[in-house]
Amino acid sequence: MTEERLLEIKNLKKYFPVKAGVFRRTVAHVKAVDDISFHINKGETLGLVGESGCGKSTAGRTILRLLEATEGEITFEGHNLLELDKRELREMRKEMQIIFQDPYASLNPRMTVADIVGEPIDIHGLAANKKERNERVTEILDTVGLGTEYMKRYPHEFSGGQRQRIGVARALAVDPSLIIADEPVSALDVSIQAQVINLLQDLQKDFSLTYLFIAHDLSVVKHISDRVAVMYLGKLVEVADKQKLFDDPKHPYTQSLLSAIPVADPTYKSDRIILEGDVPSPVNPPSGCRFHPRCPYAMEICSEVEPEYKDYGEGHYAACHLLEQE
Amino acid sequence: MSKEKLIDVKNLATYFHTEEGTVKAVDGVSFEIYPGETLGVVGESGCGKSVTSLSIMRLIESPPGKIETGEIIFDNKDLTKSTQKEMRKIRGNDISMIFQEPMTSLNPVYTVGDQIMEAILIHKDVNKKQARQESIDMLTKVGIPLPEQRVDEYPHQLSGGMRQRVMIAMALSCDPQLLIADEPTTALDVTIQAQILELMNGLKDQFGMAIMMITHDLGVIAEVSDRVAVMYAGKIVEYTDVETLYANPKHPYTWGLMHSIPHIEKDVDRLQAIPGSVPNPLDFPQGCKYNTRCPFATDKCREVEPEIEEIEESHQVACWHVDKLEEAKAKEKKEKEKE
């Protein structure tokens, strides 16, 4: 594989202010994404996993500038996205699209399928006239497995799986190179999930797409990704090649996360690491390593010093004091 | 098995009579639960798994819902014929239930202590002080730290995992014989899910109760169940013990489901998706309800609905073409060996 980087994130931060009092003064910040760095190579799928509230969706949205970053650098095909003005950004958005989790909430109920898929084509002026636009819409709908007979219909007439296909079609309409898929199959039934996953994989091959696949379901992420990044409370704790991450997880959080997955095989006995407690609040995260209050191996240093996020060989990144001692 | 059944559901059918037509949410299901075991009920949205459990609790809103036929034998009584007054004695006392979303099932304006005490005061002969102490004991048993303090807190002060623990404490406070758990971990994160499943397994042994575990997650089912009923479109299509089900699924739907999920322990290049989608309950296909999606469907399947029957010892399947699936499995095995 040619390791050409399509997207590079450096020290990205996204803080949400917490306002209180009569004057709505900012009293604290929710550090949803707190200094993360990673890259995505052209044509690969990077899986981004973590539990609810870890900042994975915020990270995805900040990359697209649907949310404005607090600090950091986002380089996409050589351009720093955070320095683009509105017009340049709109131009750039053609290359980067998003698919949302909830196919019920993310489609406008008053628009027909043809208009939902056609809207991005109009905005970016990709069709010379109506006829050309409709041809393009037909072609895309056909690609995602929806027939032309559906063009005049409204979202409520479709099942969840079909709606997610419409969402995929809308993202594909402008012929992007990067698609951020934010929990695209979580809301779907088990038998439908496989259909959408297969579709995404086929499209990746046919259109040489690059995916940032955000999900909490580790089996799905393992299936679809080339590399996997694990987030915990706004930080990246581990990034590695899929096989390496699942065979040899280095960070204690990754280890417990992997062991917590229920395996669909009653004869399988896992050595489960049950974590104590809940994920702490991102408003006031623990000092030092954010995982230390729940970590089975926590040492004194872990509550004091934040571990450095670094490469432990062949692109296997992790942030843990245990590894530094080895 | 000569063991006495805790609950025996016979040919239960629950329909909803709506303006658009009759929805046959549950259409003739039969199963039993033995004391101390966990029965897993698995199926996709709309398959009738939740309606089955609500029918047992007699919590079907009527109208539009109605238990049309069938018997639910519990403690030598048919619950379908019980009055609501009799049911109130059973609910929370003999049979308890926990739901998917702990926030919406807890009352936000009462403390968790008040809510646990409510059940204890109704069903047990104790005073308020004793009930409070019992609530604190229950919170300790479900692993809530600082129970003396937590007992006076409100649901919004607790995290999702803690709320589900409170729900479990409430459900177990009167020592039920059967706990119905409807997707109890679906809204929780994996690490919290692992905590709750571990807790439920421990409490099951401690209290000696039976659990009816309803979920769509084949991983959770494999982990907690002794026996499993697979539901599709209001019917049980396969019913057997958990090892047999996973090692040797006999219904094409069960087989399809297992092939359509990615398995963490083995890699495949491509998932074998089940084509199409779950049929509309207002407009179920004639014959076997899975025929529109089944790779083995024949004219017979499109005309006559198969009854569930025992094809091997304690292995029930509702399919006309069990042999065709066996052929497909043999072929698949051969191909694997070739590789």
What is the C-alpha to C-alpha distance for residues A249 and B202, in angstroms, rounded to an integer?
A: 29
Q: Any bridge partners for residue B33, and if so which?
A: B7
Is the confidence at residue B89, as pLDDT, over 70?
yes
pLDDT tens-digit map of B214-246: 999 999 999 999 999 999 999 999 999 999 999
What is the C-alpha to C-alpha distance for residues A217 and B196, in angstroms, rounded to an integer?
A: 17
What pLDDT tens digit does each residue of chain A (326 aa) get?
457 899 999 999 999 998 888 888 888 888 999 999 999 999 999 999 998 888 999 999 999 999 999 999 999 988 999 999 999 998 898 999 999 887 778 899 999 999 999 999 999 888 888 899 999 999 999 989 887 888 889 998 888 888 999 999 999 999 999 999 999 998 888 888 999 999 999 999 999 999 999 998 899 999 999 999 999 999 999 999 999 999 999 999 999 999 988 888 888 877 788 888 778 888 888 999 999 999 999 999 999 999 999 999 889 999 999 998 77
Tell me, yes or no, if B258 comes closer than 8 A to chain A by beta carbon: yes
- Strand ranges in B162-295 using DSSP code E only, listed in sequence order: 178-182, 210-215, 227-232, 235-241
What is the C-alpha to C-alpha distance for residues B230 and B318, in angstroms, rounded to an integer?
A: 11
**Do B44 and A275 lie within an 8 Å CB cutoff?**
no
Q: How near does any CA of chain A get to the CA of B77, in Å?
A: 34
Crossing angle for the helix pair B190-207 and B160-172, to the nearest 10 degrees: 10
Q: pTM for the full model?
A: 0.88
Q: How near does any CA of chain A get to the CA of B48, in Å?
A: 14
Torsional class of A54: left (φ above 0), alpha (ψ -120 to 50), beta (otherwise): alpha
Two tokens at B62?
């009527």
Listed in sequence order, the residues at least 6 apart from B303 whose beta carbon sits closer than 8 Å to its beta carbon are B286, B287
What is the C-alpha to C-alpha distance for residues A174 and B281, in angstroms, rounded to an integer?
A: 37
Amino acid at A198: N
Tell me, yes or no, if B161 comes closer than 8 A to chain A by beta carbon: yes
Write phi, then psi, for B127 (nearest 5 degrees).
Answer: -90, 175
Nearest C-alpha in B relative to A265: B222
Nearest to A229 by CA among A244, B150, A199: A244
Report whether B227 contacts B41 (CB < 8 A). Answer: no
pLDDT at A19: 86
- Edge-to-edge strand list for the sheet holding B77-78: B21-33, B7-18, B65-74, B77-78
pLDDT at B246: 94
pLDDT tens-digit map of A52-74: 888 999 999 999 999 999 999 99
Report whether A65 contacts A81 (CB < 8 A). Answer: yes
Domains of chain A and CATH, by start: 5-95+176-251 (3.40.50.300)
Within the 42-81 window of chain B, which residues sit less than 8 Å (CB to CB) from chain A?
Answer: 44-45
**Do B261 and A272 lie within an 8 Å CB cutoff?**
no
What is the C-alpha to C-alpha distance for residues A311 and B271, in angstroms, rounded to an integer?
A: 33
